[in-house]
Amino acid sequence: MVPGPRRRCRTSGRRSRMWKVSVLLFLAWVSFLFYAGIALFTSGFLLTRLELPNRSSCQEPPGPGPLSGEHPGKPGACWIAPRFSRVVLVLIDALRFDFAQPQRPPTSVEPPVPFLGKLGSLQRLLETQPYHARLYRSLVDPPTTTMQRLKALTTGSLPTFIDAGSNFASHAIVEDNLIRQLNDAGKRVVFMGDDTWKDLFPGAFSQAFFFSSFNVRDLHTVDHGILEHLYPTMDSSEWDVLIAHFLGVDHCGHKHGPQHPEMAKKLSQMDQVIQGLVERLENDTLLVVAGDHGMTMTGDHGGDSELEVSAALFVYSPTALFTSAPPEEPEVIPQISLVPTLALLLGLPIPFGNIGEVMAELFSGGKDAQPLSSALAQASALLINAQQVSRFLHTYSAATQDLHMTELRQLQHLFSKASADYQRLLKDPLGTEAALKTVTAELQQFLRGARALCLESWARFSLVRMAGGAILLAAACFLCMLASQWATSPAFPFRSLLLVPVAWGLTGAIVSAGLLVATGLKLDLVVLVAVAAMGSLLPSLWKAWTSWGTRKPLTTLFPIPAPILLLLLIRLAAFFSDSFVVAEARATPFLLGSLILLLVVQLHWEGPMLPPKQLTVPRLGSSTLTGPPRHSGTYALGLGVGLLLCTRLAGLFHRCPEETPACHSSPWLSPLASVVGGRAKNLWYGACVGALVALLASVRLWLRHYGNLKSPEPPVLFVRWGLPLMALGTAAYWALASGADEAPPRLRALVSGALAVLPRAVVGLAASGLLLLLWRPVTVLVKAGASAPGTRTVLTPFSGPPTSQADLDYVVPQIYRHMQEEFRGRLERARSQGPLTVAAYHLGSVYSAAMVTALTLLAFPLLLLHAERISLVFLLLFLQSFLLLHLLAAGSPVTTPGPFTVPWRAVSAWALMATQTFYSTGHQPVFPAIHWHAAFVGFPEGHGSSTWLPALLVGANTFASHLLFAGCPLLLLWPFLCERQGPKKRRHLPGQETETKVRPEEEEEDGEEPLMEMRLRDAPQHFNAALLQLGLKYLFVLGIQILACALAASILRRHLMVWKVFAPKFIFEALGFIVSSVGLLLGIALVMRVDGAVSSWFRQLVLSQQR
């Protein structure tokens, strides 16, 4: 029994674990600093407007005196006498304005458009009953998402930008709204359709038929459910307001796009619905057909392009509504104008927070009305509307300081003048017609000015929070840059840089909370977190200041090489230009190509791009030099050409921003189900499956090349058999998804079930593989056997018996549990037979093999969330990554025993490639470009009431590139992996005797392997420091991008494109940073798990030998 080595093993293991935990905790703390800065800046930049609880009522008119000559005691009268007793509101989701236009004669230049002329009933009514019908172009306020449009259509207000984030987590509307006014007036409201209304107006309907709205691949369930109840309800007398919200047109746009033949079928179905409703209308009923928003040429919405904000609005009644025929070009009106119009037409109070302008011509009295009485009725409706808006502005300005007071006073003066002119007109009828026109113009000017004032003022910012968030982000970036230099120091104070900041942060948060409570202010979690983050930063910044002093030049603060620093500055400066942000999909490959050319040129002229002294790589325990450079300039040139070619090919899969109409998006981004023609679909399917097989074969060949497929470990067995099953399941899912609509009726249930089971099976296999990898992460081959009597030899990466702590930490493969038991059994038998020989093969790729396997397992579920043809991009992504790693490894330093480092050029190139892959997979940093179809992969019937799971699937689709490129520890491992292999024979170090017994069939395998990644274990402290430095550099490159986006959004907060370009870019960069940082922590944790498993096995092996 030898207790000394046992204690040393335990001590070394405990010290090694402490180092690993310290590295992960330090990176987690730095990430937390960035999160706090993002949260603080967001809370100041994306604020919601104040929602007032006030409600309009008949008992409290918005202005003094009689409003329009109506008698308050008249039955049904409130602020004004009602014109209609009933309203049928038909909402056709995403009914773009041109969908309602008539079919134009086709020309030889323009091919026929499938969706034009399909709503023929609207055109017939406009032609045959011009005084009863009118078509408008409804101008929608962004964001053009359904929930925000429903809020606007019922409250008459303007949802703010941040509300777009709650589109799939709707909350009940607390503001005064049209549905509440209908309930207060005792109206019976019946609803059928989109279940979003259930969350917005819980318990508000006398009868309701809700249908799930989130399954955008389902074109018919909601519409058929409505039609089942629509006409029976119309024929009954148990309703006053009937609302039907159809979703088929919107879902067809998401699934196929507006140009698909299915869109023509859907619009034809809606045309039949309108015809059926018109036939059942009575004289006291108004029919309103409206779209909540439009859609882009790809069928998406959410932004503010012309096609998205242009919706159709059609009104019709069996009784005459207008005094004149419709104009040749439909009038353009704001969408929220429908709210005050419907309220006054039904004799209801206008919702308190409405800022819409009433559609005055609907109050003209019809074809036979006298011009004077018609003009007076319109002016009366406008005055009521203006009084209501004036009251709202007065109340809102008293509650908050959002509105610009100078403009508000000007508007109030204009309103006072218009009201006085109106009252004077009632008393003195002389010159009535001209005076009415003047009053009408003044009231319309006031209403439009009020809307413009609110639209401008509700983009309100908290400059203090924005500045604090930007300062915190900048401080975190500065800390990353400083700590990346400190990390290579042997005396890097991990414990003090973790415990002291935590203590300071907690103290700051507690003191801040106490001050807020003492002053009676509301506790703000974002502020407390930001104070804690800033407090934890102070000790590190103070340490940097005191240790720096004035002895060092300022240039040492920026350790980034000049060419890389210039490239980063160019990229960051581009974030301040909306044109460059829009064109980032083209600018990023250009910057990446420039960096690749720089690397190739330096390698060609400077050899390995390193001073010769850094290329000394002594064998463990010796001082042997490696000799000449590892790669030639021709080799680097070939890698560069391959990289540029892959970058160019990946650029073919591009999605054009809506701001570049001359650009045409790649047709290869659409799913195979949208491909017309069986032959073309089959050819593309074959290409996609071929890319899938090539991706699988490439990974297996790489693992076989480094010998990791020879291991009996569970992850290797899974790579052999599990990965082909995942590829087979993916190919089968693609086949079924591309032809689901063409399946025979008797097989549709089976196909639907398979579409749900196959993706879940692939995800389950991937999760199983990752768990096996975490359980047994070492993928090497271990052999044990009895040798001839006389010696007892264990073959390890070092020579001789373990004599020091460093020897105990050298890499030896961890073997399978049953192999360990077998080894112990052979050890007992060998006591009488002779000594034992243990050989471990292919140790040099032990870390990178685990990382590549994990990324491959992760790639398959992510690939399922994309369209089929994106598999070609994934294949290019893996090939491009391998080429870049080899190019970077050709010029990276390999020094033992350390310190190890990853150059800035490698980290910058890796981050650029992640951004390029984001665009190459069909994404854009705007909400309309989000791939919503990913939410239904594995869930073709939808998710019910769940919102977190579809959000997770859509997020994984959007940030797939960030997840895959979180494998940046490969940047540290790859230079060691590319070490040239030595001769296939054993070497005996000078002065040492080593006996080797090898069977003839194993001679080739038992040749001496290059140490490669084993060199990282020569100094475990340097290995952990290198992982920390890599993580800090990667966080710096990502953090400086989010800092630039935050500064651009704050400086250009009044820019015309702030909500269209800069705000979405900031949001996407912020979310991407969070995903990348979490992925980075998981990737480094995986490398540490491999390292810990290997060290554990080796300690057990040494102890077993000593027994």
Residues near 690 by Cβ (< 8 Å), separated by ≥ 6?
none
- The whole-number average pLDDT for the span 639-645 is 91
What pLDDT, on the 0 to 100 scale, is given for residue 696?
Answer: 92
243 pairs with which residues across the strands? 89, 191
- Packing angle, helices 846-864 and 714-738, rounded to 10: 20
More confident call, 793 vs 950: 950
DSSP 8-state symbol, 303: S
Q: What is the pLDDT of residues 446-469, one digit of tens each?
A: 999 988 888 777 756 778 889 999
Would you say residue 842 has pLDDT above 70? no
Assigned token pair, 34? 């960035």
Reported as half-sphere exposure (CB side, CA atoms, 13 A), residue 913 has a value of 31
The pLDDT > 70 percentage for the chain reads 77
What pLDDT, on the 0 to 100 scale, is given for residue 426?
Answer: 77
Cα–Cα distance measured from residue 1083 to residue 345, given in angstroms and rounded to the nearest whole number = 63
Would you say residue 26 has pLDDT above 80? yes
Cα–Cα distance measured from residue 132 to residue 130, given in angstroms and rounded to the nearest whole number = 6
Q: What is the pLDDT of residues 643-678, one digit of tens each?
A: 999 999 988 888 888 777 778 888 888 888 877 777
CB burial class (10 A; 0-12, 13-18, 19+) of residue 263? buried
DSSP 8-state symbol, 136: E
Cα–Cα distance measured from residue 355 to residue 455, given in angstroms and rounded to the nearest whole number = 10
Cα–Cα distance measured from residue 165 to residue 161, given in angstroms and rounded to the nearest whole number = 8
More confident call, 922 vs 781: 922
Assigned token pair, 365? 């009295």
Would you say residue 815 has pLDDT above 80? no
Reported as half-sphere exposure (CB side, CA atoms, 13 A), residue 652 has a value of 12
- The whole-number average pLDDT for the span 364-373 is 75
Range from 152-166, 330-344, 424-438, 805-819 carrying the lowest mean pLDDT: 805-819
What pLDDT, on the 0 to 100 scale, is given for residue 103?
Answer: 65
Cα–Cα distance measured from residue 774 to residue 791, given in angstroms and rounded to the nearest whole number = 37
- For residues 379, 385, 387, 389, the Cα torsion angle rounded to the nearest 10 degrees is -140
Q: Distance of CA 118 to CAs 101, 109, 221, 271, 709, Å?
A: 9, 21, 21, 7, 60
- Reported for 632-637, long-range contacts at CB under 8 A and 24+ positions apart, including other chains, are 633/603, 633/604, 633/605, 633/607, 635/890, 636/599, 636/600, 636/603, 636/604, 636/887, 636/890, 636/891, 637/600, 637/604
Collapsed DSSP state (helix, strand, coil) of residue 201: coil
Assigned token pair, 488? 């290579």
**Which strand ranges, in their side-by-side order, compose the sheet holding 86-92?**
207-211, 189-194, 241-246, 86-92, 285-290, 310-316, 133-139, 332-334
Would you say residue 271 has pLDDT above 90? yes
DSSP 8-state symbol, 1003: T
Preceding peptide of 501 cis, ω within 30°: no
Among residues 918, 942, 915, 910, the alpha carbon closest in space to that of 870 is found at 918
Q: What is the pLDDT of residues 585-636, one digit of tens each?
A: 999 999 999 999 988 887 766 554 443 333 333 333 333 334 334 455 678 8
What pLDDT, on the 0 to 100 scale, is given for residue 1065?
Answer: 92
Residues near 846 by Cβ (< 8 Å), separated by ≥ 6?
778, 779, 780, 811, 813, 1013, 1090, 1094
β-strand pairing of 207-211 with 241-246 = unpaired
Cβ contact 123:102 at 8 Å: yes
DSSP 8-state symbol, 1061: I
What pLDDT, on the 0 to 100 scale, is given for residue 53?
Answer: 83
The residue count of the chain comes to 1107
pTM of the shown model: 0.74
